[in-house]
Amino acid sequence: MSGLFDRLGQELQAREKASGLSMADVLTLPDDLRRLFNWMMRQEEVSLAEVAAHLGQDEPSAQDTLARLIEQCFVREMPAGRYRVRLAPKRGGQLPVNIWQALDEKTEKEEGGR
Amino acid sequence: MDKIVSVHSFRGGTGKSNVTANLATVIAGAGKRVGVIDTDIQSPGIHVLFGIDEENMDKSLNDYLWGKCAIEQAAYDVSRVLKTAAGEMPSGTIYLIPASLRAGEIARVLREGYDVNLLNDGFRELVRKLQLDYLFIDTHPGLNEETLLSITISDVLLIIMRPDRQDYQGTAVTVEVARKLEVPELRLVVNKALASFDFKALKERIEGTYGVPVAGILAESEEMIALGSSGIFCLKHPSHPLSQTLRSIAEQVMAA
């Protein structure tokens, strides 16, 4: 039973890691959203009041915007009512497996020889 | 107030790491606390200029990205490079955060990727933990995730280009991206210009083309080639015109 929960946990963790906004995505966003992300990235973390001020909205409207961005996994809610941009992990390369294996064997040999 | 300075070029071989190391050294020589982080994980190189090699590199940026250490544990105090020819030691400090030189570790990053949020946090942590005045980010040429991240969070972006048609086109792309990412201070640095060029006319032409100030034009230099990345040029040749231009660019970075 614990194996099933472990696998479920790993699956959820993998999904968690796969989500987020890539920096390349930021470049393709509509101007207002891109400006919001640029600003949030520079601030590191922001409060609801700061987002509202930045967007020129009242707090309920800003809260609604943030809720949608959280739902899309573009923003993460932090403790104490702070928010930050959620960046997608950088994916590994798509080289054929045999190239990686050959590289592994070579580097293991090199490191073993040290 | 601390500043994050990214040094980028669209193409390789522009002398980006050399310019980064020299600017960081000049600013540290002015008594500042400076960090230099090598985010060129695929092809690291700036460590050579600071006299670090695989033998004396215990932890690297790769270890931090894999959760094996805190970012400041991958920082090496390389302030010894600041020692002048007269043996004087300026009051500044310079730290280097190298990327791993081990083939297996480079392959692992290429194969598995990494958490970009960690890299972002690492930049901020470095500034805080090492109490840095300036953090220089040496980037991988071209546009990729870490380059775009470092451009986005930078206070100052220096784009290095050579007077070469391929660089002209690539720089146009980078300038467009930097504008989209709203970098507060954007400057161009022209490197490896032939001494026979009319620098004033070149500066005016480039500034007219991109609408971005040129912080300095560095001439191709025999002394720089002879040094072959075995040291920091402006410390080895403090009176050389190239060193004077590098100091002028460093002053503009500090004033930005």
Residue in chain B lying closest to A24 (CA):
B145
CATH tag, B3-255 = 3.40.50.300
Residue A114: inside a domain:
no
Residues of A in contact with B114 (CB under 8 A): 89-90
Q: Which domain holds residue A34?
A: 2-89
**For residues B34 and B92, is the Cβ–Cβ distance under 8 A?**
yes
Could you give the CA distance from residue B169 to residue B172 in angstroms, rounded to a whole number? 5
The SS3 of residue B192 is: strand
Average pLDDT of every residue of chain B: 93
Domain boundaries, chain B: 3-255
The sign of the torsion formed by the CA atoms of A8, A14, A19, A20 equals positive
Select the residue of B104, B146, B181 nearest A38 (Cβ to Cβ): B181
Residues B7-51: pLDDT tens digits?
999 999 999 999 999 999 999 999 999 999 999 988 898 999 998
Q: What is the pLDDT of residue A32?
A: 87
Residue A101: inside a domain:
no
Q: What is the largest CA-CA distance in chain A?
A: 65
**Which of A17, A19, A42, A46 should we substitute to test contact with B (largest number of B Cβ atoms within 10 Å)?**
A42
Q: Show Cβ contacts of residue B179 under 8 Å, excluding neighbours closer than 6 positions.
A: B186
Could you give the CA distance from residue B157 to residue B186 in angstroms, rounded to a whole number? 5
ipTM of the complex: 0.84
Q: Show Cβ contacts of residue B142 under 8 Å, excluding neighbours closer than 6 positions.
A: B10, B11, B12, B170
**For residues B92 and B33, is the Cβ–Cβ distance under 8 A?**
yes
Could you give the CA distance from residue B50 to residue B231 in angstroms, rounded to a whole number? 7
Q: What is the pLDDT of residue A109?
A: 67
Put simply, the answer to whether A26 touches B116 (Cβ < 8 Å) is no
Residues A71-113: pLDDT tens digits?
888 999 999 999 999 998 887 776 666 666 666 676 666 666 5
Q: How far is B57 from chain A, CA to nearest CA, in Å?
A: 15
Q: How far apart are the first and last CA of chain B?
A: 12
Residue A1: band (very low, low, confident or very high) from pLDDT cuts 50, 70, 90: very low
Amino acid at residue number B46: I
Put simply, the answer to whether B113 touches A92 (Cβ < 8 Å) is yes
Residues A2-29: pLDDT tens digits?
454 555 455 545 545 457 888 888 898 8
A54: domain CATH number is 1.10.10.10
Residue A105: inside a domain:
no
Q: How far is B110 from chain A, CA to nearest CA, in Å?
A: 5
Counting residues of chain B whose pLDDT is more than 90, the rounded percentage is 74
Could you give the CA distance from residue A78 to residue A9 in angstroms, rounded to a whole number? 21
Supply φ then ψ for residue A87, to 5 degrees: -90, 140
Put simply, the answer to whether A107 touches B182 (Cβ < 8 Å) is no
Residue in chain A lying closest to B177 (CA):
A27
pTM of the predicted structure, to 2 decimals: 0.88
Residue B87: band (very low, low, confident or very high) from pLDDT cuts 50, 70, 90: confident
**Which of A13, A21, A23 should we substitute to test contact with B (largest number of B Cβ atoms within 10 Å)?**
A23
Tokens of A21: 């906004």
Tokens of B153: 């969070």
For chain A, list the strands marked E by DSSP.
46-47, 75-78, 82-85
In total, how many domains does chain A have? 1
Helix (H) or strand (E) holding A44: none
Q: How far is A42 from chain B, CA to nearest CA, in Å?
A: 5
Residues of A in contact with B180 (CB under 8 A): 27, 34
Residue in chain B lying closest to A17 (CA):
B115
Residues B153-178: pLDDT tens digits?
999 999 999 998 889 999 999 999 99
Residues B222-246: pLDDT tens digits?
999 988 888 899 998 999 999 999 9
B60 has pLDDT over 90: yes
Q: Show Cβ contacts of residue B49 under 8 Å, excluding neighbours closer than 6 positions.
A: B17, B18, B21, B229, B231, B232
Amino acid at residue number B75: A
Residue A12: inside a domain:
yes
